[in-house]
Amino acid sequence: MANHHQKPHAIMIPYPYQGHITPFVYLAIKLASHGFTITFVNTHYIHSKISNSQSRENCQINKDDLFARARESGLDIRYATVNDGFPLGFDRSLNHDQFVEGLLHVFSAHFDELVADLVKSDPPVTCLIADTFYVWPAMIAEKYNLVYVSFWTEPALVFNLYYHMELLKKNGHFACQDNRKDTIDYIPGVEAIEPRDLMSYLQATDIWTVVHRVIYKAFTDIKKADIIICNTVQELEFDTLSALNKNQPTYAIGPIFPSGITKAPFSISLWSESDCSQWLNNKPNSSVLYVSFGSYAHTSKEDLLEIAHGLQLSGVNFIWVLRPDIVSSDETDFLPVGYEESIKDRGLIVPWCRQIEVISHPATGGFLTHCGWNSTLESIWCGIPLICFPLLTDQFTNRKLVVNDWKIGINLCDKERVTHEEVAEKVSHFMCGDSTQVLRKAVKEVRKTLENALGQDGSSEKNFYQFMEDIKVNVRKRAGLSNGHASPLYQNGNGLIH
């Protein structure tokens, strides 16, 4: 039986992609620094990728325990790994659908087995903080009498649209043979949104892919969560968060960064990171465009060739992160012959890098991005305006926030297909034109909102403390119920601090 004075002990499990792992790690560190015991769970494969990405010369982590250094600093973070159902050598990127089928149907059994061991820990496990995209947390939490916290690592707007999928379907904007193309103005907490700004899965005609089935199940499971936390800022999405709070306690506790974002406690990258600092040191301030399409999204070889040609024509200095698996095939040689030689004086191409170090460097003046949520928040924090080239999932909706709502970026292409002429024109104007100063000023204003939210009396900090208190209230309530007594404590479900 959990003693009222015992430390709360939370199991944390991110979805096995870089964009989800990063905020989970930082949240684990923040909770542990406020007295929580954390058991952080990665899959064997993710653990192997992170361990292997560490250079021998600069090994920042214990390869068996990613949080060993955190514990040395006094934080009670334990570490565990679990089988995701596939051998380590299985290519999860190339065989995406097969992998996600495994996460949907098989993975929960492996995780259940691990939780059965972890609940015997000292102090006892009392809470499960799971990624919203998992389809089984409510079942596991109920089985082991754990408080169920769902962690949403994307904007609240995206969460809200998924939450109201049935409303979109009922009104003919989703899951119809011919989806309506007019403005959507009936989602609670969303003033208006165009169909083109919905997530790619809500724009799709095939609505029974494996990812759709994950989304349907996950957003059924979420209705059973005790608490929902979002990696966003209350002031940036106030109406959306207020609407969500009418259904379930929902806390905006972002942006979830380490203290001193440019000096993370250890590397959690799935790929070896190139050091671009020497190259950047030789470039004038604000002269370099950073180009990256994130850790997960794929694009076509045709689009990459147009972007490559456009960057070359623009005359702008650039660093381009090109993952080996960026084109969803076995092909890794997708640039024109002699391209790197032709741009060597002003262009640097790397397979992966320390993104925060690049965008916080004085030489960097802009970011051509897929609009992943972590990249968007990091860019705002570093005061860097964005050129948006969304590829899939939430990135189209994130672009709406960046371009239409906050006005801190522009679209890369206004036509259906990207062309090298438009890339050259947009990049050149973005980096050198008069509008750049307007964008920079707007980014600084949004950055102030983030800073204020994380301040001592800021909304994210207050929400974070309220969230921790709600966990403790729910733990005591569950302990009382499992004892056969009704709990005298009452959860009011108000996740917003006014």
Buried b (16+ CB within 10 A) or exposed e, 372-396: bbbbbbbbbbbbbbbbbbbbbbbbb
Buried b (16+ CB within 10 A) or exposed e, 324-338: ebbbeeeeeebeeee
The pLDDT of residue 14 is above 60: yes
For range 207-213, the mean pLDDT = 96
The pLDDT of residue 264 is above 60: no
Q: Nearest-5° angle of CA 361, CA 452, CA 450?
A: 50
Dist. CA 276–CA 273, nearest whole Å: 9
The pLDDT of residue 271 is above 90: no
- Computed over every residue of the chain, the mean pLDDT equals 90
Quick one: pLDDT band at residue 53, thresholds 50, 70, 90?
A: confident
In 281-421, beta strands by DSSP E: 288-292, 317-321, 347-350, 364-369, 386-388, 409-411
Q: What is the pTM of this model?
A: 0.93
CA 478 to chain centre: 30
DSSP string, 344-383: TTTEEEES-B-HHHHHTSTTEEEEEE---HHHHHHHHHTT
**Tokens coding 103:** 């996460």
Quick one: pLDDT band at residue 62, thresholds 50, 70, 90?
A: low
The pLDDT of residue 60 is above 80: no
Beta strands 386-388; 364-369: pairing state: parallel
pLDDT in tens, 349-403: 999 999 999 999 999 999 999 999 999 999 999 999 999 999 999 999 999 999 9
Dist. CA 461–CA 5, nearest whole Å: 24
For range 99-121, the mean pLDDT = 96
CB 159 within 8 A of CB 241: no
Quick one: pLDDT band at residue 495, thresholds 50, 70, 90?
A: very low
pLDDT in tens, 131-183: 999 999 999 999 999 999 999 999 999 999 999 999 999 999 999 988 999 99
For range 410-433, the mean pLDDT = 92
pLDDT in tens, 441-487: 999 999 999 999 999 999 999 999 999 999 999 999 988 766 554 43
Match 């000096």 to its residue by tokens. Answer: 263
Higher pLDDT, residue 8 or 268: 8
Quick one: pLDDT band at residue 23, thresholds 50, 70, 90?
A: very high
SS3 228: strand
Quick one: pLDDT band at residue 491, thresholds 50, 70, 90?
A: very low
CB 52 within 8 A of CB 76: no
- pLDDT value for 366: 97
The pLDDT of residue 494 is above 50: no
The pLDDT of residue 16 is above 90: yes
Dist. CA 467–CA 461, nearest whole Å: 10
Stretch among 88-97, 138-147, 280-289, 394-403 having the lowest mean pLDDT: 88-97
